[in-house]
Structures are given as C-alpha cells and as structure tokens.
Amino acid sequence: MAGGITDTGELYSPYVGLVYMFNLIVGTGALTMPKAFAMAGWLVSLVLLMFLGFMSYMTTTFVVEAMAAANAQLRWKRMEKRKEDDEDEDSSSGVSDTDVLLQDGYERAETRPILSVQRRGSPNIFEITERVEMGQMASMFFNKVGVNLFYFCIIIYLYGDLAIYAAAVPVSLMQVTCSATGNHSCSVGDGTKYNDTDKCWGPIRRIDAYRLYLAAFTLLLGPFTFFNVQKTKYLQIMTSLMRWIAFILMIILALIRISKGQAEGHPSMAQLSGIRNLFGVCVYSFMCQHSLPSLITPISKKKHVNKLVLLDYILILAFYSLLSFTAIYCFRNDTLMDMYTLNFTNCDIINVAFIRYFLGLFPVFTISTNFPIIAVTLRNNWKTLFHREGGTYPWLVDRIVFPAITLIPPVLVAFCTHDLESLVGITGAYAGNGIQYLIPAFLAYCSRKDTQLVFGSGTVNKHLSPFRHTFWIVFVLIWGFSCFVFVTANIVLSEPKL
C-alpha cells in the first residue's frame, strides 16, 4: 500500500477485473451492514447507501485519473533522461556548428509545453501500464506535509482493520462454542440476550472465553507480522468461494423464512440515532480506493474502465440492498447480531448442523487469511513513513520494533471491546473517510495541476474523470470534512459505546 512502482503482473480482461473489484469491495464490512440498516431505518439507510455509493464511485474515478497522470509523468521523466544521455554522448564525441544550431533550436522547443511531442511521438502517454501505488502518487503530487498526512491516514485505517479482524474471529468462536454447550445449544440467534459475565463452560465466563480465543488468535497469527507474507492466487480463490457460498446461503435462507410467513422484522423508516454507525459501515463497505492500482493496472483494455467501475458499483449496491433488506425483514431489530452470519446458527433458522457451523465460523476462515497480509502491509507503511534516503534500520528496529507496534495496539483494542458495529463505524467514519474522499480529491486536484504545468494547459488526460469540473472536487472535500465534524459531534453528544 505504501509501495513504489511494481510490475503490472499478468494481464486480465475487463470482465475479470469487474469480478476482482466486486470481490475486493464486498468483504467483512457487509456482514455488519444488516444491523446498521436496522438501527438507522430502511428508508434512511437506502438513501444514504445510494448516496455514499455514488460518492465512492466518483472518488474511484479520481484515483484512476491520478494513476494515468502518474504514468504520464514517469514516462516523460524517462524520455527526458534518455535525451540527457543522448546529449552527453553527442558532447563527448564532438559536434559541428550545424549541430549547435540544431541543438539550440531543440532547447528553445523544450521551453514550450510538450503537447506537440505527445501528439507526434507518444499518443498513449496517459496509458496506465505501470502500477503506481497510492503512496507513490502521494509522493509525486503532494508536499511533505501531505505525504505524512496520507501515511497517517492509511496507518490509522489499517489499525482499525486489524482491530476489527482481531475482534471478529474471537467473537464468532465465542458465540458458536458457548452456545454449542450446555443449555444454550442452538440459541445464538433466537433473541436470547447474553452478558459478558454469563457462563460459557463451567466457571469460564463468555468474556473469558472471548479473551482466551483472542490470545490464541494473536499467538497463532501474530508471528506472521514479523515475516513477509502475501496472498497467493489459490488462497484468494478459496476465500472468495467461501465468501460467495456464505452470502448466497444467508440471502436464500432469509428469503425462504420470509416466504413461509415466519418473518419477524418490522423495521422503522428512520432512526437518526443510527446514522453515525451506518455512515461508517457504508464507507467501510465501499472501500477499494487504496487497492485500485493493483486492480486496474493489469486490465488489458482500459478504454471504458470508468463504465466498468460504474457497473460494479451498481451491482454492489443491489447486492448490499438485497442482503440488508432480507435481513431486516427476516429478523427483529433486537435479534440482529453485529456479525450477521451468527443469526444463522439457530436451529430454528436452519436445522442442518454443517451449514450452521459453516456460517457461524465463516468469518474465522476468511479473516484469519487476511490478518497477516494487512499486518505486513501496516508494518511496511510504518517503515516507509520513517525511511530516509540511503538509510537502513538497525536489526532490532526492523525485525522487532516495527512488527511490535503493528501488532500490539489492535490486539489491545480488541481486548477492551468486541463491539464490532462501533469498531467498523469509527474506522470507516474517520480513517475511511480520509482514504475514500479526501485523499482521492486532493490527488485529482494536484495531479491536474501538475499535468498542466508539465504538459501544457491543452493536454487532455485520456482517463480524465467524468466529474472533471472543479466543483466536484470541492464538493467531495466539503462533504468529507463535514462528515468528520458530524461524526465527532454525534460521538461527543451521545454516550459512546466503546
């Protein structure tokens, strides 16, 4: 996430890119959306979901535009370097008076915008052929303060991600195993309310079981933070397949229950008190901007990439709506769990034990594979933030300090709270807000400014966002900063859940 320029990798078709983007966006955040829908009311939730989906699409086109501008600048710098090398060769071999006159004319041409050069020699100067990560774009287009703020935002977001993951796995294990023993068998989703102090097994309380699972999770997956890991192709296929089986099962089971007249949900139209968490959950659930360079660059044909992204957002919006509406009409508001999969561990919903345990433990499998990857990404961002040109870190700092400051804070947060709805809401409302709205808007503004400076005011970026007017950038920035104020005021004025 912080990286520089890396190889494009194996190319794939636009439709494969559409599937990859769908899989990237529809993740853990979707599992917390049904409860957020129920708490805010179906009408408010639908309107906010559609609006935030539109805003996320707009900022996605900003990032694609900035990627094209970054590719153009890198291509131009290489052209300049080649010219300098050629000039050095000519000067070392000796030149005639005619050569001097020609060179003088060439240098005068250099002071003009290079639009003519682009038209004659490099018609695809804005083609996205190299993967330029967001950290690299921030370094190219932002000043030092802007780069540091970018890394601060991405680091806070990744900390939130890790805290959510560190809490979600022990919560799922606690709910499934505590309800599978004694008199609580099959009762996770039956509306029974449990306190953290209730017994789980013998003298062990539920909160004790949660913390035992958290300790085991940390001991098993934490060490990966000290090494380099990456998500393999086969692991990605496996987790994507499990995710789709789980989501489709939940939608079908909820629809069957509704069709049989067993629906218990009576959602209200609007509850303003639930908007803060819903906002954070929606922002978190539409998050993809930080991974766009890895996703868009390998697409073989990028001519209609913005239309492809729009189609993806429409499909995701329809999917989120279907998942959430079936949930809020199938289950009562007070029985919807923070992690929606846990509603299907009740025998009354599904009497097949394998499906109950598959859905109940689904977050354990998928999140456990993602946790080490995100932890290593966060560790590398810390290293990049403090890196100085030509400097190296001592072994102790590189191998112990950076992994430790990566792993310890999210585990402490998960130890103190397992309120997933609030964790997702706050992560999305603050760091997610910055990554999804503010950073893309500033990238679009600064890249346009740099492009005009380097290539001339008449140059047109072939991947220019459909929202090309400056009004849209200003609108996104005002919206982003307003959300910070709104969420903060809402937290201050209401009793915090954490």
Cβ(175)–Cβ(357) below 8 Å: no
Kindly state the average pLDDT of the residues 358-369.
Answer: 84
Tokens 């402490």 correspond to what residue?
A: 412
Confidence class for position 232, pLDDT limits 50, 70, 90: low
Distances in Å between the Cα of 461 and the Cα atoms of 67, 69, 73, 427 are: 10, 7, 12, 33
* Alpha helices (H) along 297-352: 305-330
Question: What are the beta bridge partners of residue 199?
Answer: 205
pTM exceeding the 0.95 threshold for the entire prediction: no
Query: What whole-number percentage of the chain has pLDDT above 90?
Result: 32
Chain center to CA of 244: 19
| Fold (topology level) of 14-79+128-182+192-494 | Amino acid/polyamine transporter I (1.20.1740)
Residues 6+ apart with CB under 8 A from 38: 265, 267, 274, 327, 328, 333, 336
Greater pLDDT, 64 or 184: 64
Burial state string for 118-127 with b = 16 or more CB within 10 A and e = fewer than 16:
beeeeeebbe
User: pLDDT tens digits for 400-423?
Assistant: 999 999 999 999 999 998 887 778
User: pLDDT tens digits for 251-299?
Assistant: 999 999 999 888 888 888 888 888 888 888 898 889 888 888 888 888 8
Structure tokens that stand for 155 in this block: 């680091």
Greater pLDDT, 445 or 88: 445
Confidence class for position 327, pLDDT limits 50, 70, 90: very high
User: What whole-number distance in Å separates Cα of residue 463 and Cα of residue 69?
Assistant: 9
Output phi, psi for 44, to 5 deg.
Answer: -60, -40
Burial state string for 254-286 with b = 16 or more CB within 10 A and e = fewer than 16:
beebbeeeebebebeeebeebbbbbbbbbbbbb
User: What whole-number distance in Å separates Cα of residue 433 and Cα of residue 282?
Assistant: 10
User: What whole-number distance in Å separates Cα of residue 460 and Cα of residue 462?
Assistant: 6
Exposed (0-12), middle (13-18) or buried (19+): which is 310, by Cβ within 10 Å? middle
Question: What are the beta bridge partners of residue 201?
Answer: 204
pLDDT of residue 5: 37
Structure tokens that stand for 171 in this block: 């919560």
